[in-house]
Structure 1
Amino acid sequence: MTAMKGPGIFLAQFMGDTAPFDTLDHMAEWAAGLGYKGVQIPCDTRVIDVKLAAESKDYCDDLRGRLDRFGIEPTELSTHLQGQLVAVHPAYDTLFDGFAPAELHGKPAERQAWAVDQVKAAAKASANLGLKAHATFSGALAWPYVYPWPQRPAGLVEEAFAELARRWTPILDTFEEAGVDCAFEIHPGEDLHDGATWERFLAAVDDHPRARILFDPSHYVLQQLDYLDFIDRYHDRISCFHVKDAEFNPNGRTGVYGGYESWVNRAGRFRSTGDGHVDFNAIFSKLAQYGYAGWAVIEWECALKQAEDGAREGAPFIRDHIIRVTERAFDDFAASGIDHDAIRDVLGLSRDGGAPA
């Protein structure tokens, strides 16, 4: 089995106006200096022209060449913000306008059309970059009704997922044409936020072969979901992996819902890798067991630690956890090397295939 690739780092949380976070080249050089081998690139105009990347192999070859100067390669492209806009409940229209260009603010239909076009372009750009998977969000139509009070009308959830499938199936078909997996980050705030919702969606898109999963255990800790059992159940659909930590410390004041507190005061909060409750030894073992061959990518989100410190610690953390999968059994040294006839003898069977003497 092939070992996973890494370490990689997701650039979205680090982008800014000053060096080394102001350009893709500067961030690639910075990441390489920390020991990273790959960068997950958000489809943000500051680092990539996704429409041009979809149309021009030369542009993509140039981008890869620029990264290669630093010993870095792209792991995946990300359309988390654009994917969110594929399906937005009206309650969130104003808040999510910030994910789209200013000229689309207050225009939900036009904003959605732009988002769909962006995600489809990312599929083609990924193919031009030679990538196998893409990271995104599903968006959400039913999320305001996640807690059933007042009682949800019969059929509401089913219709929400049917509509989600209608919106995503043409996008998934574009990924199929490009030969790229579309990996949804299973994440609260999205209609795909746990195993049950993933199964609903997968059924609604008729088990589309390009509908895949971005596995991020931090979101399962905050939901108190068994992330190891999740791997056992859905490992054949996992195409991306965010190495992100979290902790859950409930008390008599706050629990899973967090009481509207700030991140630092919530019972469940994201932490820098290695500082939380996630059992990464078990996760890396499970993924190795099932032959996961994609990238292990740090996503830094922490309520306490400074971002650059988290990035600096992330590369050796991933490197030390990646398992080089053995190509032979540990007890091969004791193999007897006996032949077929001897095996028949051991079993008390005649060598000619007849009944025992």
Structure 2
Amino acid sequence: MARPATIQGPGVFLAQFIGDAPPFDSLAGLAGWAAGLGFRGVMVPTHDARILDVEAVARDAARADEVRAALADRGLVLTELAAHRFGWLLAHHPAYAVAAERMAPREVGDRVAWAGARLRLVARACRALGVSRCAVFSGALLWPYVHPWPLRDPGLIAEGFAELARRWRPIVEAFDAAGVDLCVEPHPGCDVHDGVTFERFRAALGNHPRVKLLYDPSHMVIQGMDHLGFIDAYAALIAAFHVKDAEFRRSARSGAFGGFQDWIDRPGRYRSPGDGAIDFRAVFSRLSQHGYGGWATLEWECCLKRAEDGAREGAAFIARHIIAVTRHEFDAALQGRGLAPGEIARALGLQP
């Protein structure tokens, strides 16, 4: 069993805070804003060149140095890169063609090939920046078949995971060559959306050691899963952690699928940390107990609270929940030097 570890943080995922006005329109601006709120690390998205020009960083060591310096000057650590959009584009069902058009430049013809090329650039950018983890989505070839009606053939599902593996295998190899773990985030709307689908995805890739997990308990709450038991089941594979709250309000009119309603009206909805149903004391305790020493990163996606307020409160929330793991057992003084065989027998009442 892994030794307990102290989680690092607070970190923040910058994707949800990007905007068109300063300080939210540049990495330097976002870094200054995040540092001012008390964050110590940032997860940086790779889909917006204003924030991170992946191609430039991958090809020019000087640009990578500039990125690191911009963060270090503000007391921040680059915790992970995130390439969720590229992962989704790598393997999306044709039903999502219109949505996919919004995630790639208009001039792109083959979006799957383009996404694969971008992911390989991200791997090189990670190596240039000294980052050892990258967050991704698996893609969504099979999601239209998630509920078994019309009846689905098991062969369709098997072939779907086989195709996922064919598309991801060269990407995994590129990240392996760069010394970077791919942290797959189980997410509704993606083929990897729970533990079972992650296991199947990873098995299709030969259980490659670079294929890890990004743990986000909010996605488990809205699916009715045991988000604490998930930690026990997959602790050895959890390499990244999003701090995002959620709640599921049982309803007579709507259920887990949400009835096509806006987020605020769905029974399952995302909230800012502390405003939902997740017991984060237990989450942080369980992760620390199992030896997770990575970053606790705020992901703000709340249907009620302002982003700025969620970020400010989130930094303090994470800092308050981090457990500085003890180096000594509380009864260490009573353990002494150990008992000799004769003393053991006496302690058990077997000898006078």
Per the shorter chain, which TM-score range? over 0.9
Q: In 2, distance between residues paired with 1:325 and 1:132?
A: 23
Q: In 2, distance between residues paired with 1:188 and 1:236?
A: 23
The structure 2 residue matched to 1:65, chosen from 65, 69, 81, is 69
Q: CA RMSD in A?
A: 1.4
Q: In 1, distance between residues paired with 2:182 and 2:99?
A: 25
Map of 1:145 onto structure 2: 145
- TM-score by length of structure 2 reads 0.95
Moved more, 239-248 or 324-333: 324-333
Q: In 1, distance between residues paired with 2:116 and 2:8?
A: 30
Which ranges in structure 1 are unaligned for 5 or more consecutive residues? 350-355
Correspondence 1:14 to 2:17: yes
Q: In 2, distance between residues paired with 1:310 and 1:69?
A: 25
Q: In 1, distance between residues paired with 2:166 and 2:281?
A: 39
Map of 2:155 onto structure 1: 155
Q: Does structure 2 retain, via aligned residues, the 8 Å contact 1:250–1:256?
A: no
Q: In 2, distance between residues paired with 1:129 and 1:293?
A: 20
CA drift at 1:69: 1.0
The SS at the match of 2:340 is helix
CA drift at 1:304: 0.4
The SS at the match of 2:139 is coil
CA drift at 1:337: 2.4
Map of 2:29 onto structure 1: 26
Map of 1:318 onto structure 2: 318
Map of 2:224 onto structure 1: 224
Q: Equivalent residues in 2 for 1:1-357 (5 A)? A: 1-43=4-46, 44-104=48-108, 107=109, 110-338=110-338, 342-348=339-345
**Runs of 4+, deviation exceeding 4 Å:** none
Aligned length, in residue pairs: 344
The SS at the match of 1:239 is strand
Q: In 2, distance between residues paired with 1:155 and 1:22?
A: 46
**Letter of the structure 2 residue corresponding to residue 181 of structure 1:** D
**Letter of the structure 1 residue corresponding to residue 341 of structure 2:** R
CA drift at 1:211: 0.6
**Letter of the structure 1 residue corresponding to residue 140 of structure 2:** A
Q: In 2, distance between residues paired with 1:6 and 1:336?
A: 36
**Letter of the structure 2 residue corresponding to residue 79 of structure 1:** A
Q: Does structure 1 retain, via aligned residues, the 8 Å contact 2:5–2:289?
A: no
Which ranges in structure 2 are unaligned for 5 or more consecutive residues? none
**Letter of the structure 2 residue corresponding to residue 214 of structure 1:** L
**Letter of the structure 2 residue corresponding to residue 165 of structure 1:** A
Q: Does structure 1 retain, via aligned residues, the 8 Å contact 2:5–2:290?
A: no
Map of 1:352 onto structure 2: none
The SS at the match of 1:348 is helix
Q: Does structure 2 retain, via aligned residues, the 8 Å contact 1:183–1:214?
A: yes
Moved more, 304-313 or 325-334: 325-334
**Letter of the structure 2 residue corresponding to residue 39 of structure 1:** V
CA drift at 1:225: 0.6
- Cα deviations by residue, 1:208-230 (Å, 9 ceiling, x for unpaired): 11111111000000001111111
**Letter of the structure 2 residue corresponding to residue 84 of structure 1:** W
CA drift at 1:160: 0.1
Q: In 1, distance between residues paired with 2:183 and 2:128?
A: 18
Moved more, 223-232 or 121-130: 121-130
Q: In 2, distance between residues paired with 1:242 and 1:154?
A: 33
- Cα deviations by residue, 1:133-153 (Å, 9 ceiling, x for unpaired): 111111111100000001002
Q: In 2, distance between residues paired with 1:168 and 1:208?
A: 11
**Letter of the structure 2 residue corresponding to residue 163 of structure 1:** E
Q: In 2, distance between residues paired with 1:343 and 1:141?
A: 63
